[in-house]
Chain A
Amino acid sequence: MNIQAQNIVITGANSGLGKSLALQAANAGHRVVVISRSAGQLNKDLLAAGVIGISGDLSNKHEIVRISAEVLSELGQIDVLINNASQLGGSGKQPLQLLLDTDCEVFEEVLATNLLGPFRLTKRLLSSMILKKRGRVINISSDAAVSAYETWGAYSISKTATDHMTRIWNEELKDYGIQFLAIDPGDMNTAMYRAAIPDADFDALYQPEDVARDLWAFLSHDHFEQVRFTASQWRAL
């Protein structure tokens, strides 16, 4: 990330990787807005760091106009957008299930949050980046976007589609100074991961704050030759 203060928007940032990314960016002197369903009660660490919270449901198309207007009323223009919010689907107790057992409504909800939400928000926030010929949009991906894991169906499919959407955005706008990246952060010790794989060895996982630190270091590069990065690829750079 450049040393010059930037305007950064991060979705789903009241916990996990999003929270750590927001906190570290704010502490480094950037202006940070986070969007999440619970941003009305913004985490106290984020509040103390000067992060601005905007509450809203990105899966709801009726809220996107207001959310984007509120973001742009706050920041004026945007340098970096990180689409981090996502959901696994299923119920709280059983977030993963066979595709055969996945209700159509659950599939739709997952696509609304993980694919359509980032599409609508990006579309609304791109204007200032295009006109200034500068900006970066980062879609947080997963290895489930590439590998077909049993029971990860709806989430996995939404991430594959988001990866491809990232490539298409990049192809259409690469000549206009905007870089799109799909980044798989790798497995982390987050509430989402613990809910998905309750019997995993959590001590062997990266902590979200360490991944956030390493990701910001990776993003300090000015230019990237590819759009999608696996965890081992971005860590190797």
Chain B
Amino acid sequence: MKPLQPATRSTRRNDAKLLVVENEGKPRHFQLKELPQILSADDLVVVNDAATMPSRLIGKIGNQCVEIRLALHLGDQPKNVSHWLAVSIGLGDYNTPTEDRLPGYAFQVGDCIEFGGTLKAIVKNIAHINGRLIEIEFCSPKRNLFQQIYEAGNPIQYSYLEERLEDWDQQTIFSGPAVAVEPPSSGFHLDWAMVLEMKKIGIQIVTVTHATGLSTTGDKQLDLLLPLPELSIISKDAAEAINGAKANGRRIIAIGTGASRAVEAATLTDGRVIHGSMTSLVKLNSNSRPQTITALLSGLHEEGTSHWSLLESFISTEQLRKAYKEAQREKYLGHEYGDLELVFSQS
């Protein structure tokens, strides 16, 4: 199936489209700004409030230039930003898709990557045999590690975008703790006018924090490991709100795959959602069904992507294909800054 044309601008669009996919019926077309009316006052909306780190860093080992991408936040709390899983990427500009780059530098334990200034990272562990998935620890004699990583890092760029992204292009209106390395992009087109309207209707909105990891490494072997076990934080208030909605048979709508993964990972076998910091080990795909989330609002990605696999836990492959074809026919834009679909779980 030919992929949808990707959105080529990162600007928030007031005219973003929304495809609503449920049961066996024909997918229905809306404007995203109609979302408050599509939802009902009883619904509970869950959003991922992770802010996105500038996770592309270029440094040196001796005279050798190396590029790494932060792949996963390994701190036990958002404020601890020294430990990360990172992927070694072949050098090249951001117009070259990651998968088309040459293999990245093969690191060894003990390598010291210098990023300019006083910021360094020590390779603490090789997390995969080919030396391209590594565990690193940032260090600096200066206290403000957070600031230095932001100064050294750049946002991950998308080769299909016309412009070079700035840090703020990767944040949503909910951005809070900086634990994501790729943006919770389903929230890109939501604005406060829409959210305040939802609140006025009585729709309850809660946040969870999900440290979205890298979605592609450019290495087929490593991509099989995705999504990595990501950190999720669910507050007591959020867990209580979700459990309350569930007990009353209300719908729970996740904005983005990160929010859905966080909530599903926190769902016990008896159906209760627990609060606290946890690692999301749950992989949602055609072999599983969401236990808590009723519907997922997300961008449109083609068959074969990890995003598509996750949606197969909500609805049949056949229905998904039908929806994708419908989106193609109506010229929806795909990928991170594109149009959206709201997929209801068949279970």
Is A170 interfacial (CB-CB < 8 Å)?
no
Q: How large is the interface on A (under 10, 10 to 19, 20 to 34, 35 or more residues)?
A: 20 to 34
B-side interface residues, number (CB < 8 Å)? 33
Is A147 interfacial (CB-CB < 8 Å)?
no
Is B94 interfacial (CB-CB < 8 Å)?
no
Inter-chain contact A73/B143, CB cutoff 8 Å:
no
CA distance A128 to B175 in the complex (A): 9
Give B143-173 interface residues, CB cut-off 8 Å to A.
143-144, 146-147, 150, 166-168, 171, 173
Of the candidate stretches B9-17, B36-44, B176-184, the one touching chain A is: B176-184
CA distance A66 to B79 in the complex (A): 12
On whether A70 and B147 interact (CB within 8 A), knowing A65-B168, A76-B177, A127-B176, the answer reads: yes
User: Could you say which of A40, A55, A64, A66 has the most chain B C-beta atoms within 10 Å of its C-beta?
Assistant: A66
CA distance A55 to B51 in the complex (A): 19
Inter-chain contact B79/A55, CB cutoff 8 Å:
no
Residue of A54, A56, A69 near B51 (CB, 8 A) is A69
Is B206 interfacial (CB-CB < 8 Å)?
yes
Is B196 interfacial (CB-CB < 8 Å)?
yes
Inter-chain contact B176/A70, CB cutoff 8 Å:
no
Give A64-113 interface residues, CB cut-off 8 Å to B.
64-66, 68-70, 72-74, 76-77
Q: Looking across the interface, which residue of chain B has its beta carbon closest to that of A123? A: B173
Q: Looking across the interface, which residue of chain B has its beta carbon closest to that of A41? A: B143
Output the least CB separation between B48 and chain A (Å): 12
Is B101 interfacial (CB-CB < 8 Å)?
no
Inter-chain contact A69/B178, CB cutoff 8 Å:
yes
Q: Looking across the interface, which residue of chain A has its beta carbon closest to that of B170? A: A65
Inter-chain contact B178/A131, CB cutoff 8 Å:
no
Q: Which 9 pairs, one residue from A and one from B, show the smallest C-beta to C-beta distance?
A: A69-B178, A73-B78, A66-B150, A72-B176, A69-B51, A65-B167, A73-B177, A73-B79, A70-B146
Q: Name A's B-contacting residues (CB within 8 A).
A: 40, 54-56, 61-62, 64-66, 68-70, 72-74, 76-77, 124, 127-128, 130-132, 176
- Give me 20 other A-B pairs in contact (C-beta within 8 A), A69-B175, A73-B81, A76-B235 excluded: A56-B147, A65-B171, A66-B150, A66-B167, A68-B175, A69-B51, A69-B53, A69-B146, A69-B178, A72-B175, A73-B51, A73-B177, A73-B178, A76-B176, A127-B49, A127-B173, A127-B174, A127-B175, A132-B237, A176-B196
A-B contacts, 16 listed (Cβ < 8 Å): A40-B142, A40-B143, A54-B146, A55-B147, A64-B168, A68-B175, A69-B177, A70-B178, A73-B81, A73-B177, A73-B179, A74-B79, A127-B174, A127-B175, A127-B207, A176-B196
